[in-house]
Structures are given as C-alpha cells and as structure tokens.
Amino acid sequence: MAPPAKRARTLTFEERLARLEEIASELDAENVDLAKALSLFEEGIEHLRSAAAELASAEATVQRLVERADGTFGVADAE
Amino acid sequence: MNPSRRRGAPSESGSELELFPAAEPPASRVVEEPLPNYRGAASYPGETAEAAIAVSTLTETARDILEGAFIPVWVRGEVTDFKAHRNGHWYFALRDSRSQIRCVVWNRDQRRIPAPPDDGMLVAAFGRLTVYPARGEMQFTVVRIEAEGDGLRRKALEITRARLAADGLLAPERKRALPRFARVIAVVTSPDGAALHDIVAVIRRRRAQVRLVVVPAAVQGDSAPQELCYALDQINRWRGADLVIVSRGGGSREDMWAFNNERVARAVAACYAPTISAVGHEVDLSICDLVADHRAPTPSAAAETATLSKTELETELRRAGHRLRASIAAKFSADRDHLRHAARDLVSAGVRQTSMRRASLERVSGRLHALSPVATMARGYSVARGSDGRALTSLSQFTEDMPFDLVLRDGTVPAKAWPRPRSEPAP
C-alpha cells in the first residue's frame, strides 16, 4: 500500500512509473507474503490503468506566463 | 609622440593596412590666403581685430558646423592609446599612416560594443565627428566598433567565458540532469519568433503531454539582454516549470549577440530548474549554451530533448506493466514451488509415519498373539463360556442343565451341563 501522502493527491505519470518500479522490486523480494504480494499487484494494476487513461486523454497545451500587479503569476492561453 | 614608433604601427609601405585599406583622403585644396582686416566696421563677428570672437565661440561654432556637416560615418583605423577612464568613458585614438583622430565612447554607449578594443587592433568605428571645445580638438564620438576578423567579439567571448569560468559556472559537474518527464516547460523566447513555432510544432507532432508556458522576451536588439534576464527572473519567482528552454532561431552573429551577454548567462546559470539552451543553428555556439545544463543545436532539437513522445510514454508504460506481471508471476511460481515441496515432504513424512506404525502394530500384535487363548486352544484346549460371554472356570459357576458354549480352536460348540453323578461329593 502506498503511503497516505501519495494517495492523497493524483500522482503524475512519472510518479506512477516510479511507484510501479518500486512495487515490482518489492514483489521481487524474498520475504513478501502472498496477501501482501497480491495487494501490491493490485495497486500496480491500478497505477497502470490510471497512467494509461492519463496518456489517452492529455494533449499538449501552449500558454503564456502572466505576472500580475501583486507579483503573483498566472498562465493564459497563448492561442 | 611619434606614431610610427608604436607597437603594431603601420610601416611606410603600409603593408599591414592593406588588409584593411583606408579610403584615399580627398586631395587638399589650395586656397588663396585672405588678408586680415584690423579696423573698421565689421560685417560679421571676427572680421576685424576689434570684433574678435572668443575662443569658445570659435570652438563651439566649429563644433556646430562639423556636426551639421557630417552625418554619422564608419571610420577605419588602428586603435592606439586606449584608456578606460575612471569616469566610465573610453578614450583612444584611431589612426592610419598619415592621420589620427581622438575618439571617445561614452559610458552609455558601451553596452552596444562587444568589448573594449585593444591597442593595435584594426577596427571600424561608427560615430559622429565633433569638436571637444575644452581642448579645441576634433573628436570622433563612437557608438559602435567592429574589429577586423571579428577580433572584438572573440575578445568579448573570451573575457565573458573567463569570468564565468572563474566563478565555476562552466564546470561540468554543475550540469544538472534533465527531468525525463517534464510536465511544464517554460520557454524563454520571442512570442512570434521561428524558435517558438518550431518548438510547438515538434511537441504537437510527438503528441507530448506537456504544458508549454511561453515567457516572452526580445531575442535580439539592444533590449534583448535585459528582457531575457527579466524573463528568467520571472521564472525563478514563479517556480512553476520543471524545465526551462532559452531559445531563438538562426540569424546573424549580431542578432544572436544577446545570448553571449554575461548577465544573460548568469541568469541562465541561476535558474532553479534545469535549462536547455537552443540558440540559432548547429554551428552557433553561444555563452548561454556553455552555461545551460544542456545545449540543443536547434530549437526543434530542444523540444525533442525536453519531451517524451506519446509513443515513448506508451512504451514506458508497457514495460512497467510487463515488469509488474513478471514479478507477480515469479512470486506465485516461487510460492507454488514451496507448496509442491511442502506437499512432497508431507507425503513422505506420512509414508514414514505409516510404515513406523505398521511395524509397531506388528510388534504389538505379535505380543497379543502370544498371549491369546486362541494359540492355547490351537494346542487342544477349549474354553467354556457362559451366556454372558464370561469364561466358566469353576464348578460353582455351573448349574444343572445350564447351557454354555464350548469355544474350540476353530469354532464354538453349544453344550449343556448334565446332572452331577451322585458318587461325587458335593462341594
């Protein structure tokens, strides 16, 4: 099971891949019991599914950095 | 001072100047000497001794006339007596084999000149001819200098490079790795330049999953260094990008000069996120390229380096999936092996157990057998058993006509107790 902090927000594609790598390594360890292995595997499958969904949906966007008068920043669509 | 004795002075043959030939000066005209008037009514200031004008009037008038007569021109010559004065201005003379002219570069004009020229350098200086009234000297006010053989720019690059190197900004160990999966890429470039167009085209083609955030800056001209620095400063304050690309398309050496600016280079070095410099084409190497974490030969190449294509991402994901499934499969097959071993152990343990039991059973049954009445009966004895199954072993257990069983070696015979003969004494 991932630490709660990781569960709390949506992981990036990169973080999901990293977590998958971690899970695979944990599974490779000698002393993982079967129940733990299954829950790790399920978590991994979930990451795979989410990452694939993310990959299918996202598009490149072009924006422009805008500095507001109060010194904060925003982005505006460039096109 | 005799200019012909100076280092690098052109010889009378002018062989050194042939590399950089001066235009022929106009032949001096012979003008008839006017005769001065001393007295009388003057029709213009300075016509008579009485109407003599002040020195300052002369020099200032000369200045006005010279400035009005000359549009700014490029002048070719050799630099001598160069001095960067404490007041921030540069002073030198330009000369050829016959003449020289005092020159000044005001502090405010120096940023347009790549580097201060060295004595002996053959240069073309662009400026305006004037008179310096305080000395009554002609002075050429220079605003641009280009050296023969690009000497000035090479010198500028060397100076900047040395200064950056002294601060460790060119050290290879400073180079940061680029993120493999940049999500937000800040692009410092002209919002309508070729570089941005190329970068966007590459990212679209690769269907890369990134947000490009353009941070506009002029990439050529006098304001470019300042705007580039400002854009990089904005990015540092915003902190929203994983990666920063500083870029412009190809152009002349002068157009790209802002990317050799020391302040711009330092701003690139100070960027919190990893940087890619992509200035001009393959052959153009800028100071920014040296300072950035990664140098891309073109803006398109920068976009390729900065992003993974959708296909590459899919491959990554597929690889992760394979790895996961292989790991779980290996895990299960390991467990299956354990189970198989355990079962085998159990069975063989069982087998051992059984054969041990059988042996002890045999031992016990042997002993039982030895104790069994059956064996005795086999030798010809028999046992009388009452209807309750108890063995009848004493006369007192019998009554007249009582039925009982006589158990023999190979079976049971029903029997009955006959009346006791009289002769026998009663117990």
Residue B375 pLDDT grade (very low, low, confident, very high; cuts 50, 70, 90): low
d(CA B411, CA B170): 114
pLDDT digits (tens, 9 = 90+) for B98-120: 999 999 999 999 988 888 999 98
Q: CA of A24: which chain B residue's CA is closest?
A: B324
The packing angle between helices B299-306 and B194-205, to 10°, is 40
Helix (H, G, I), strand (E, B) or coil at B378: helix
Residue B210 sits in the same domain as residue B265:
yes
B359 within domain boundaries: no
Residue B198 pLDDT grade (very low, low, confident, very high; cuts 50, 70, 90): very high
pLDDT on residue B364? 67
Structure-model confidence comparison of residues B150 and B22, the more confident one: B150
CB contact under 8 A, A63 and B210: no
**Average pLDDT, stretch B366-386?**
67
Q: In degrees, to the nearest 5, what angle opens at C-alpha B295 toward C-alphas A55 and B115?
A: 145
pLDDT on residue B99? 93
**Min distance A15 CA to chain B CA atoms (Å):** 10
B133 within domain boundaries: yes
* Range 47-76 of A in CB contact (< 8 A) with B: 48, 51-52, 54-55, 58-65, 67, 71, 73, 75
B304 within domain boundaries: yes
Contact B249, B217 (CB under 8 A): no
CB contact under 8 A, B214 and A20: no
B16 within domain boundaries: no
Q: Residue B94: enclosing H or E segment and its boundaries?
A: strand B90-95
Helix (H, G, I), strand (E, B) or coil at B264: helix
CB contact under 8 A, A60 and B328: no
Structure-model confidence comparison of residues B270 and B419, the more confident one: B270
B94 within domain boundaries: yes
CB contact under 8 A, A14 and B181: yes
Distances (CA, A) of A14 to B185, B209, B313: 15, 12, 10
Among candidates B207, B212, B316 on the partner chain, residue whose Cβ is nearest the Cβ of A17: B316
**Range list of H helices, B294-309:** 299-306
For chain A, the domain total comes to 1
For chain B, the domain total comes to 3
**Range list of H helices, B3-149:** 55-69
pLDDT on residue B272? 95
Contact A75, A65 (CB under 8 A): yes
pLDDT on residue B378? 66
**Average pLDDT, stretch B247-254?**
89
Among candidates A25, A58, A73 on the partner chain, residue whose Cβ is nearest the Cβ of B209: A58
Structure-model confidence comparison of residues A4 and B344, the more confident one: B344
Residue B189 sits in the same domain as residue B260:
yes
Strands B90-95 and B73-84: antiparallel
CB contact under 8 A, A32 and B316: no
CB contact under 8 A, B320 and A21: yes
**Min distance B227 CA to chain A CA atoms (Å):** 14
Mean pLDDT score across all residues of chain B: 84
Choose the weakest-confidence range: A64-73, B165-174, B194-203, B407-416: B407-416
Residue A3 pLDDT grade (very low, low, confident, very high; cuts 50, 70, 90): very low
pLDDT digits (tens, 9 = 90+) for B63-84: 999 999 989 999 999 999 999 9
Residue B306 sits in the same domain as residue B160:
yes
Q: CA of B204: which chain A residue's CA is closest?
A: A60
pLDDT on residue A7? 46
B317 within domain boundaries: no
Q: What is the DSSP string of B400-426?
A: TT-EEEEEETTEEEEEEPPPPPTTSPP
Residues from chain B contacting residue A25 (CB–CB below 8 Å): 327
d(CA B106, CA A30): 76
Structure-model confidence comparison of residues B62 and A1, the more confident one: B62
% residues pLDDT > 70 (chain B)? 87
**Average pLDDT, stretch B411-418?**
85
CB contact under 8 A, B212 and A21: no
Residue B294 sits in the same domain as residue B395:
no
B15 within domain boundaries: no
pLDDT on residue B171? 92
Judged against a pLDDT cut of 60, whether residue B2 lies above it is answered with no
Structure-model confidence comparison of residues B363 and B374, the more confident one: B363
pLDDT on residue A2? 43
CB contact under 8 A, B204 and A71: no
- Residue A27, chain B, CB below 8 Å: the answer is yes
Among candidates B180, B215, B323 on the partner chain, residue whose Cβ is nearest the Cβ of A24: B323
Its domain, for residue B238, covers 156-311
Judged against a pLDDT cut of 90, whether residue B324 lies above it is answered with no
B78 within domain boundaries: yes
Residue B179 sits in the same domain as residue B296:
yes
Last residue of a domain, one of B85, B116, B149: B149
Its domain, for residue A11, covers 2-75
Question: Distance between alpha carbon B349 and the CA centroid of its chain, in Å?
Answer: 63
**Average pLDDT, stretch B291-304?**
94
**Range list of H helices, chain A:** 4-8, 13-28, 34-57
Residue B143 sits in the same domain as residue B180:
no
Q: CA of B203: which chain A residue's CA is closest?
A: A60
CB contact under 8 A, B211 and A63: yes
Residue B105 sits in the same domain as residue B171:
no
Q: Which residue has the tokens 């999901």?
A: A16
Record the pTM.
Answer: 0.61
Tally A–B CB contacts below 8 A: 109
pLDDT on residue B23? 58
- Residue A43, chain B, CB below 8 Å: the answer is no
Least Cα distance to B65 among B133, B143, B135, B142 occurs for B133
**Average pLDDT, stretch B157-173?**
92
Residue B161 sits in the same domain as residue B111:
no
Last residue of a domain, one of B89, B123, B149: B149
CATH number of the domain encompassing residue B214:
3.40.50.10550
Question: Distance between alpha carbon B427 and the CA centroid of its chain, in Å?
Answer: 123
**Min distance A46 CA to chain B CA atoms (Å):** 11
Residue B51 pLDDT grade (very low, low, confident, very high; cuts 50, 70, 90): confident
d(CA B261, CA B279): 13
Cα distance between the two ends of chain B: 176
Residue B203 makes CB contacts below 8 A (sequence gap 6+) with A60, B210, B212, B303, B307
Residue B275 sits in the same domain as residue B412:
no
Could you give phi then psi for residue B372, rounded to 5 degrees? -65, 140
Residue B62 sits in the same domain as residue B121:
yes
Choose the weakest-confidence range: A44-53, B248-257, B299-308, B352-361: B352-361
Last residue of a domain, one of B149, B178, B194: B149
CB contact under 8 A, A48 and B214: no
pLDDT digits (tens, 9 = 90+) for B85-97: 999 999 999 999 9
Residue B374 pLDDT grade (very low, low, confident, very high; cuts 50, 70, 90): low
CB contact under 8 A, A12 and B235: no
